[in-house]
Amino acid sequence: MPREFELILWGATGFTGRLTAHYVQKHYAGQLRWAIAGRNKEKLSALQKELQTLHSDVPSICIGDASDDVSLRQLVARTDVICSTVGPYARYGSPLVAACVEEGTDYCDLTGESTWIRKMIDMHHDTAQEKGTRIVHCCGFDSIPSDLGVLLLQEESIKQLGKPQTDVTFYVGKTKGGFSGGTVASMMLLMEDVKDPKVRKILGNPYALNPKDGFRGPDKRDQQSVRYDPKIQSWTGPFIMAGINTRIVRRSHALLDYRYGKDFSYREVMSLPKGGRGWLMGMMITLGLGGFLFAASVRPIRTHILSRFLPKPGEGPDQETRENGYFNISIRGETAHVKVKGFQDPGYGETSKMLAEAALCLVKDHTLLQSSGGVLTPATAMGEVLLERLRKAGMVFSFHID
């Protein structure tokens, strides 16, 4: 029997949840049986009124409690797909994933928390695979541009050049955007746990999200300093999101039966200007990032100083900042490259688009998807079907032979 809803958006009244709800309402109202869900009925009703200004066909409201397993199971049993924006996921996300696996409900989220994803893989991958339930993490700026960009590079290289690219680098070019309190909260929670040797081991392992008994390739630690890159003849610096994006790409490679080749190597960096200006920028980025991570790892500084200046959960960049944001990415192999571009703030304007389209891909395109169940990645769960959705939604994914 068809379930009551095709999609439930969990955490719809949070900062990113609200943006995602607006995107779905603007582009899919009247084409979808969906609901917005959370704990607070008053906030949900206020959001429902906002959405009514975009289209008269508004989503239903569902009430749930992240701390109540029975409540969550009843919620997920009502829908085909649940899309979660409630973080930090290590604190609030585990019961929802467990409920989705129990009830056979497909799931997607925005997490960039590699230690929590490892936990979900260990707990649920085998069962979700048996049931044919797709659990898909990292459906925002981390890690869709990386994961789908590399997939496009390799599939087109195999098709047009006869073999995949072996040495692949993701370069972040000119980018403009802001931070939200939800992202900051996830980072602060991670820094609370970083003293645990098990956590540090996962964070430092370039293959932390691969199957535990699987093949390991040539990759080492993420870049942590300024380096000159002969491939682009310019300086590069560390990229803060490499720690999650590279792990997702490598998990995709493993789940795709090492389609990119056993010697596949992958890294992510920020591309900087040429000459002394680029080196100086790289040093400033390296020192700034190192200083922030050190400060965040010291509890008194984290609690009493950083918390005063960083955005709180539910806060984020204003509409003007989101609309004026953008990102430019180049993913380069030896003989080909892929360009990935977005034309809004990467973490919020484009992320809400990517998350919504990923959820709708699971809802509307499920018969086209070749993936079976498990704790998957965007590339292995939805692959080229999601890629085409995002192109139609205005993002650029283009392949070029050098």
- 277-307: pLDDT as tens digits: 999 999 998 998 888 777 777 778 767 666 6
Task: State how far the Cα of 169 lies from the Cα of 150, in Å rounded to an integer.
Answer: 9
Predicted confidence at residue 4, as pLDDT, reads 97
Q: What is the mean pLDDT of the chain?
A: 92
Q: Rounded to 5 degrees, what are φ and ψ at 152? A: -60, -45
Q: Which whole number is the average pLDDT over 1-18? A: 94
- 151-180: pLDDT as tens digits: 999 999 999 999 999 999 999 999 998 766
Task: State how far the Cα of 109 lies from the Cα of 65, in Å rounded to an integer.
Answer: 17
Residue 340: how many CB atoms within 10 A of its CB? 25
- pTM for the complete prediction? 0.94
**Percentage of residues in the chain having pLDDT higher than 70:** 95
Residue 109: how many CB atoms within 10 A of its CB? 29
Q: Which whole number is the average pLDDT over 376-402? A: 98
How do the domains of the chain map onto residue ranges? 5-140+349-393, 144-342
CB 30 within 8 A of CB 57: yes
Q: Which whole number is the average pLDDT over 239-259? A: 95
Question: What does the block give as tokens for 372?
Answer: 């079976």
Predicted confidence band of residue 129 (pLDDT cuts 50, 70, 90):
very high
> What is the total residue count of the chain?
402
- 185-201: pLDDT as tens digits: 777 777 777 778 888 88
- 52-110: pLDDT as tens digits: 999 999 999 999 998 899 999 999 999 999 999 998 899 899 999 999 999 999 999 99
CATH class of 5-140+349-393: alpha beta
Pairing of strands 326-332, 167-176: antiparallel
Task: State how far the Cα of 387 lies from the Cα of 148, in Å rounded to an integer.
Answer: 7
Predicted confidence at residue 309, as pLDDT, reads 67
Question: What does the block give as tokens for 395?
Answer: 């993002």
Predicted confidence at residue 197, as pLDDT, reads 84
Q: Which whole number is the average pLDDT over 134-149? A: 96
Q: Which residues make Cβ contacts (< 8 Å) with residue 92, sequence separation at least 6?
A: 66, 86
CB 208 within 8 A of CB 118: yes
Residue 24 has pLDDT above 90, yes or no: yes
Predicted confidence at residue 40, as pLDDT, reads 95
